Amino acid sequence: MIGKVRKGDSFGGLARYLTRDGRALVLALDHLASDTPEAAAHEMSVAASLSRRTTKPVLHLALSYAATEAVTPDLMREDARRVLRALGLGEHQAVIVAHNDTRHRHLHAMVNRVGPDGRAVSDSQSYPRIEAALRAIEAERGWAPVAGRHAPDPVTGQRLTGHRRSVDPRQHQVPDRVRRALLTTGTWADLHSGVRGAGWRLEIVQRGRGSGALLVGPNGERVAAGRIDRGATLTQLRRRLGRDPQARARALEKVARARSGRAKRAFRTAAGAALTGAVAPFLSPGFQPVPRPHRPRRRDPAPRI
């Protein structure tokens, strides 16, 4: 047996998918007053509105059986309810249907994550609980276990290690020299020198209200230093090396440029006022200067040093 689960936000859309082309055999309408999946979808939507915080109240559970596993509608209904109890959804509204449009018999359950108390059940650790319930069912019936892709590794016991989506394998790779410089140097000067020796550079960048260490490669690669090793985050680097004097100098230079710009603007304003005062005696009494439209200046946040 293999189980899959997903969350969604549309009971109506899932109900239409489950019942299209007349392929659904309704096995159960649990904790519902409705007598069809379509009507149940509306009823479940109303019940889910009790929770204002939940944006994805729909839980879609699918269980499939191996071709060698003899199963009846009654057993499928029992299996679906057993897995829902394992997920903490045994008392929640659920529509359970069976499909036989593929080589493997399978069932679907549309479940309201929001319970009668208006609270949504957490979906944390859903797959471990589903796998445990399926292995128990298989053992009781003498079926060979069919581990899904979310099942723990039989050797290590770990589940879903690594990236869940395909990523660029170069994303977190830097030369060994850069890695050694990040983790072993004793001063900021040695760190910058070691990184530059490999054709890279280390930048301290502003991120929202905080800052971070960014590695920039010769071909424009950009890798957060903390992705290389937890000991290479900006916090850990500062703990080991202190504050970066180069970053401090650049920050002070930025502050100086900002102050210089404000001084120049103030000088132009004062000069304009003085010029207006000088020529005022030669202007006609009814002359009024056209005011410049006020444009609020966007202030950059003060750099962290």
pLDDT at 270 over 80: no
Q: Is 150 part of a structural domain of the chain?
A: no
pLDDT for 15-39, tens place per residue? 999 998 888 999 999 999 999 999 9
Q: What is the pLDDT of residues 235-252, one digit of tens each?
A: 889 888 888 777 666 666
CATH code for the domain of 35: 3.30.930.30
Whether 278 is covered by a domain: the verdict is no
Structure confidence at residue 38 (pLDDT): 94
- Higher model confidence: residue 255 or residue 188? 188
Q: What is the pLDDT of residue 277?
A: 65
Q: Using pLDDT thresholds of 50, 70 and 90, give the confidence band for residue 208.
A: low
Residue 252 belongs to some domain of the structure: no
Tell me the average pLDDT of the chain: 82
Given 141, 165, 200, the domain boundary residue is 141
| Overall number of domains in the chain | 2
* Residues of the domain holding 228: 176-246
Residue 274 lies in a domain: no
**Main-chain dihedrals φ then ψ at residue 245, nearest 5 degrees:** -65, -35
pLDDT value at 219 more than 90: no
- Specify if 70 maps to a domain: yes
Average pLDDT over residues 202-207: 80
What element of type H or E holds 74? helix 73-86
194 within a domain of the structure (yes/no):
yes
Residue 94: which pLDDT band, with cuts at 50, 70 and 90?
very high
Is residue 109 assigned to a domain? yes
Confidence of residue 85 (pLDDT cuts 50, 70, 90): very high
What six digits make up the tokens of 216? 């920039």
pLDDT band at 87 (very low <50, low <70, confident <90, very high): very high
12 Cα distance to chain centroid: 26
Q: Look at residue 201 and tell me if it is in a domain.
A: yes
How would you label 200-211 residue by residue, b for 16+ Cβ within 10 Å and e otherwise? bebebeeeeeeb
The one-letter amino acid at 138: E
Q: Is the pLDDT of residue 159 over 60?
A: no
> What does the H/E/C string look like for 226-239?
HHHCHHHCHHHHHH
